[in-house]
Amino acid sequence: MANKCIGCNNCGHTGWSRDRGNFIITIVLAFFFLLPAVVYEIWRRTGLGVCENCGSNLVKPSHSCTSNKPSDVGDLIILGVLGVVGAVVVMFLYALADIAINSYKNRNAPPQEITQQDYEASCMLNGIEYYQSIKQHPITNNGELVLDKVQAACKGSKDGKYKAP
C-alpha cells in the first residue's frame, strides 16, 4: 500500500505518499475487463507511491513526516468493493455460461431421444411378456428366475426387442 512517509526528489516535499496511477483508469478498466482492473489497482497500491504535492514518483523513504499517517480505511473499502463487484461479475458470467450451455445442449439432444436404458427396459418388458405367453412366469421350467434371465438377455439391447432363446 502507498501511504508511506516519503521525501520527494522532484519538489523536496516530505509527506505521506499517494497511490500511483489514477482510480479513474481502474473504473474504466473494471467497466470492460475486471481482472486487469484488479491487477491495475493492486499495482497502484504497491511500492512507495507518488508525491502528494507534485505527483512525481521520484521519491525515497523518509522518517521525517510530522503529520499523522492518513487512515487506510478508504483503501480497505475500495478493495472490499472491488472484491464484491468481482464476485458478482463472476457469478453473472457463470450464470450466462450455464444458460448458453443448456440452450446448446437442448438444441443438440431432443428429449424424445431413446437411451440405452429405454431399449433395455423395453426389451425386458417384451421378455417378461414372452415368458407369460408360454406360461413360464415368474419361474421357467428349468427353475430359473425369469427376471434374471431377461435382464441378462437384454443387457446392451440395440432395438428393445427380446430374442427368445
Q: Verify binding: residue 30, Zn ion, rule CB under 5 A.
A: no
Between 54 and 90, CB nearer to Zn ion: 54
Please give the DSSP secondary-structure letter assigned to residue 87.
Answer: H
Select from 52-60, 62-70, 86-94, 131-139 the region that touches Zn ion (CB under 5 A).
52-60
List of residues 6+ apart from 38 with CB closer than 8 A = 30, 82, 86
To Zn ion, the closest distance from the beta carbon of 15 in angstroms equals 9
Q: Which of residues 87-126 bind Zn ion (CB under 5 A)?
A: none
d(CA 36, CA 5): 28
Q: Verify binding: residue 57, Zn ion, rule CB under 5 A.
A: no
List of residues 6+ apart from 7 with CB closer than 8 A = 13, 14, 59, 60, 61, 62, 64
Among 2, 6, 8, 123, binds Zn ion (CB under 5 A): 8
Among 1, 10, 62, 126, binds Zn ion (CB under 5 A): 10
List of residues 6+ apart from 41 with CB closer than 8 A = 26, 78, 79, 82
Q: Would you tell me which residues interact with Zn ion (CB under 5 A)?
A: 8, 10-11, 13, 51, 53-54, 56
